[in-house]
Amino acid sequence: MRRGRGVALQVIADELGVHKSSALRLVHTLVAAGYAAPATGGSGYVLGPALRRDAAASFDHARLKRAARPFLEELVDLTGECAHVAVADGGRALVLDDVETSQPLRVVPQRGRGVALHSTSAGKCLLAYGLAEMPAALPRRTARTITTRAALEAALASIRDAGFAFDDEENDPFTRCVSAPVLGPGGAPIGCIGIDAPSVRLTRERIPAAAAHVAAVAGRLSAALGRAQTA
């Protein structure tokens, strides 16, 4: 289940050498314990949140920070906005590193800063990919903050479908941010990278192009981490 896509129930049964009904009972047990989860779209099963959090926690943050640096610089070059790499840290998203744009008007993520999970693109990305637990409280930060569990769960499902998270002035007024997941050597999410920008420049019309850049660079960072593991 460490593959990037869901593993079909029949494949699990074949690999275990058991009947499909026995494999289904085993998978249901794993799902109940948080070790497996239905894949987005209902096609097979993927790692559950318990294992995803364990995999992310075991990955060296200093290593991720070093590996991410050139990719953050690439994001700044591609988008003209500040870039960040973040991981889950208890009940918050922790900015491991950032690279600033040279533009006079900019939004600086501030390395070492902890930000809310429910109202930032980094936090929502970590929640969507099972790297952090759903917060008990969802305090309002701006008029656009998601403050109900149902609405947040719907947003997280949309993030998984789209492959990126978007903060539309939900944490700070006049600021928009985009983040995408970074996968570790085994294919499990370990953190995210993204951009932070003034909303006057990162307009809604620019979001699709900016998100494509963020997702593509996140993919290249993930591939680089995989290659480093096998080198």
Q: What does the pLDDT read at residue 27?
A: 76
Contact 188, 182 (CB under 8 A): no
DSSP state of 7: B
Q: Count of CB atoms within 10 A of residue 55's CB?
A: 21
Q: What does the pLDDT read at residue 3?
A: 43
Q: Count of CB atoms within 10 A of residue 25's CB?
A: 11
Q: What does the pLDDT read at residue 173?
A: 96
pTM of the prediction?
0.76
Strand partners, 193: 85, 180
Domains delineated in the chain: 9-47 (no CATH), 59-230 (3.30.450.40)
User: Mean pLDDT, 10 residues at a time, over the chain (231 residues)?
Assistant: 63 82 80 67 65 54 92 97 94 94 92 94 96 94 97 96 96 97 89 97 96 97 78 45
Q: What does the pLDDT read at residue 142?
A: 97
Q: What does the pLDDT read at residue 59?
A: 58
What the block records as the tokens of 200 is 């006057």
What is the rounded (10 degree) CA torsion for 59, 60, 66, 71? 20
Q: What does the pLDDT read at residue 74?
A: 98
- β-pairing verdict for 165-168 and 114-115: unpaired
Q: What does the pLDDT read at residue 40?
A: 58
Length of the chain: 231
Q: What is the pLDDT of residues 155-189, one digit of tens each?
A: 999 999 999 999 999 999 999 999 999 998 878 89
Q: What does the pLDDT read at residue 158?
A: 96
